[in-house]
Amino acid sequence: MNLNIINGRVWINSNLEDIIISIKDGKISKLANQDNIPEADVSIDVENNIVFPGCVDVHSHLRDSKFSYKEDFISGTQAAVAGGFTTVLDMPNTDPPIINVKELKKRQNNAKNRIFCNVGFYSSPIKSEDVNQLRLSNAIAFKIYLHKPFEEQDLSDVNLIRIMNRISECDSILAVHAEDRQLFDQNNNHTTESEVHAINRIIKLAKQTDCKIHFVHVSTKEGIEAIKNNKSIVDISCEATPHHMILNTEKINSEKHYCEPPLRDKENQEAIFNSVVDGEIDIIGTDHAPHSLRDKDEGKPGFPGLEITLPLMIDLYMKNKITLQRIYEILVDNPIKRFGLRNIGQIKEGYNADLIVINENKMNTINVNNFLSKAKNSPFDGNQILGVVTKTIINGQVVFDGKKIIASPGTGRVLEKEVDF
């Protein structure tokens, strides 16, 4: 089926242009002006809204399997497309965890025919000798949790150097949750020192191994400085979450809305905000971490983020606090480049037709009861913001119409090496 997208302000070459997009066989087949409209089976009038490349989340927890009561592949990827994400990268701290080829392939097979967006899967290797085979089995990247290693996972410097050398050899990247449990305080609070010490430790090991590093959810001013001061020496990047960027302990009850790392004070939050805007932080990751209400009452860390991250950024854009160019960089371009993804992220002939439509002028009240995610909790619940996703197109098919999912499970694909990255 040939599809035209008409009457949109299309994001091309860092500008919004009056362009018609033609889609055929899941690809962008032609870009045309209003005087040269290609023939199509269907035309979608997007009513002067923004047409943007689909966003990429490098930090999602889609749960499923034994955690299906929190979230599953269906609900998690529905939440993604409703929030404007056409590709998400799924973290390995599942039950069972993705620590070997057997569990990775099992998870990939479980996702096929159930996902609404494209999904890549991390692994967290126990043995350094498993790294290459995991990569060949389509692990999008690797992840370690310094504060909470998996059972039998040795994260000593000696073993980390072995793992990092193997990751470097297969030209992949290691994502790091950088907190040192030994520096938590006597009440088990996640101190700023625990993050900074862990970041510096990994940077030291990266200098020895030439391993590419991506620090997830950086939350401290000192952590940002450590990364900034070493970017010219080692190949490192970092992300922030929308909650660490926007919220602080003066604005929100950090015990009720507990996450790891926790929300910080105003000084740290403002440092994160400014570093996102200024370009020192490379990526915004949602850290979509759904839990049941009972689990939250028991202190489980995190909350859903896929449905609200882009609208929160658009709201900041409408308040002149961030540019649309910067939103493109942190939610589209930088994630794609850093994780080596192919054929997405630009509205360009031959690229995959993964697109979203944004009405930046529409007021929306965040309401957790309307989430497509199974998780019904958020520190942003009740906030009024400008910006909604009115359509999401994945692989050339309209999946979300602004109100509901209108496609079937299986619209998305499991990302494959040499095809997608």
| Percent of the chain's residues with pLDDT above 70 | 100
pLDDT digits (tens, 9 = 90+) for 33-82: 978 888 899 999 999 999 999 999 999 999 999 999 999 999 999 999 99
**Is the confidence at residue 107, as pLDDT, over 80?**
yes
The pLDDT score that the predictor gives to residue 254 is: 73
Query: Could you give the angle at the alpha carbon of 150 between the alpha carbons of 149 and 155, nearest 5°?
Result: 40
What residues pair up with 118 in beta bridges, in sequence order?
A: 87
- In which element (H, E) is residue 177 found? strand 173-177
Burial class (CB in 10 A: 0-12, 13-18, 19+), 141: buried
Contacts 24+ apart (CB under 8 A), 199-202: 199/223, 199/226, 199/227, 200/226, 201/146, 201/157, 202/146, 202/176, 202/178
Q: What is the pLDDT of residues 119-167, one digit of tens each?
A: 999 999 999 999 999 999 999 999 999 999 998 899 999 999 999 999 9
pLDDT of residue 37: 83
pLDDT reading at 185 higher than 90 = no
Q: What is the pLDDT of residue 244?
A: 98
Burial class (CB in 10 A: 0-12, 13-18, 19+), 47: exposed
Given this model, what pLDDT does residue 392 score? 98
CB 411 within 8 A of CB 399: yes
The confidence score (pLDDT) of residue 175 equals 98
How far is CA 11 from each of CA 31, 80, 341, rounded to the nearest angstrom? 12, 21, 19
Average pLDDT over residues 230-258: 94
Tracing tokens 């692989």 back to the chain, one arrives at 395
φ, ψ for residue 420, nearest 5 deg: -105, -20
Average pLDDT over residues 190-201: 96
What is the distance between the alpha carbons of residues 375 and 405, in angstroms, rounded to a whole number?
Answer: 18
Residues in the chain: 421
Determine the average pLDDT of the residues in 171-181.
97
Q: What pTM was computed for the model?
A: 0.97
**Region 233-240: what's the mean pLDDT?**
98
Answer positive or negative: Cα dihedral of 201, 207, 211, 216.
Answer: positive
Phi, psi of 250 (to 5 degrees): -85, -20
Question: Which stretches does DSSP call E strand in 19-161?
Answer: 20-24, 27-32, 42-45, 50-53, 55-60, 85-90, 118-123, 139-145
Please give the pLDDT value at position 49: 98
Is the pLDDT confidence value at 26 over 80?
Answer: yes
> Which two tokens mark 204?
């030291």
Phi-psi region of 46 (alpha: psi -120 to 50; beta: other; left: phi over 0): alpha
DSSP state for residue 228 in the 8-state scheme: H
pLDDT band at 1 (very low <50, low <70, confident <90, very high): confident
Quote the mean pLDDT of the chain: 96
Give the separation between CA 338 and CA 201, rounded to whole angstroms. Answer: 21
Pinpoint the residues of the chain covered by CATH 3.20.20.140.
Answer: 55-338
Q: How confident is the model at residue 25 (pLDDT cuts 50, 70, 90)?
A: very high
When pLDDT is averaged across residues 206-230 and rounded to a whole number, the result is 98
Give the model's confidence band at 186: pLDDT under 50 very low, under 70 low, under 90 confident, else very high: confident
CA distance 399 to 421: 23
CATH 2.30.40.10 range(s) for the chain read 2-51+350-400
Please say if the pLDDT value at position 256 is more than 90.
no
- pLDDT for position 94: 97
Instruction: Give the 3-state secondary structure of residue 92.
Output: coil
Residue type, 203: I
The pLDDT value given to residue 82: 98
pLDDT reading at 10 higher than 90: yes
CATH of 55-338, one of 3.30.870.10, 3.20.20.140, 3.90.79.10, 3.30.470.10: 3.20.20.140
Q: Give the type of residue at 277.
A: V
pLDDT at 255: 79
Biggest CA–CA distance in the chain, Å, is 69
Q: In this structure, how many other beta carbons lie within 10 angstroms of the beta carbon of residue 10?
A: 20
Residue 31, strand partner residues: 21
**Average pLDDT score over residue span 283-306:** 97
CATH number of 2-51+350-400: 2.30.40.10
pLDDT at position 191? 94
Burial (Cβ within 10 Å: 0-12, 13-18, ≥19) of residue 318: middle
Q: How confident is the model at residue 212 (pLDDT cuts 50, 70, 90)?
A: very high
pLDDT at residue 252 is higher than 90: no
Q: Could you write out the DSSP letters of every residue in 273-316? A: HHHHHHTSS-EE---B----HHHHHTT---B--TTTHHHHHHHH
Q: DSSP letter at 368?
A: G
Q: Tokens in use for 173?
A: 């990247």
pLDDT at residue 341, as a whole number: 98
Q: How confident is the model at residue 390 (pLDDT cuts 50, 70, 90)?
A: very high
